[in-house]
Amino acid sequence: MKSLEELRAIREKMQKQIDIRENSADDIRVVVGMATCGIAAGARPVLTAFLEEVAKRELKNVTVTQTGCIGVCRLEPIAEVYVPGEEKVTYVKLTPEKVPRIVAEHLVNHNPVTEYTIGAAE
């Protein structure tokens, strides 16, 4: 059974990492579109997959956030990746299966997965 004790343990672990995190100016942002269009197209499992993958790899410099309609509803689910100092990358028609590769290649190794981007889809 999941308990609040477990949550306290997570807090303690996180608090130890906060100092390290505050020193890093290179925070990467992943923004997933969660409007009606995104949700209907399957954005919920995609967002869950990003959170799982970032938690699993303990990527402390990555924040995963949600936004409304990005504006290209027919290409949902969409996620935008912002790496400081690099151009924004827009991934389209995402599935949970595509997420681990984006996390490994783009968020960790800074090589965008070109074949999943809006440029490749258009």
Name the residue with tokens 């949600």: 66
Helix intervals (H) in the chain: 4-23, 36-41, 43-56, 99-102, 118-121
Interface with other proteins by CB under 8 A: which range of 58-66, 75-83, 88-96, 106-114? 58-66
Which residues inside 59-78 make contact with other proteins, applying CB under 8 A?
Answer: 63-66, 68-71, 73
Buried b (16+ CB within 10 A) or exposed e, 23-62: eeeeebebbbbbbebbeebebeebbebbeebbeeeebebb
Q: State in angstroms the smallest separation of the CB of 58 from other proteins.
A: 8
51 contacts other proteins (rule: CB under 8 A): yes
Q: Which of 20, 24, 40, 110 binds other proteins (CB under 8 A)?
A: 40
Q: Which is nearer to other proteins, 48 or 117 (CB)?
A: 48
Q: Over the Cα atoms of the chain, what is R_g?
A: 15
The site for other proteins (CB under 8 A) is made up of 1-2, 4, 6-8, 10-11, 13-15, 18, 34-37, 39-40, 44-45, 47-48, 50-52, 54-55, 63-66, 68-71, 73
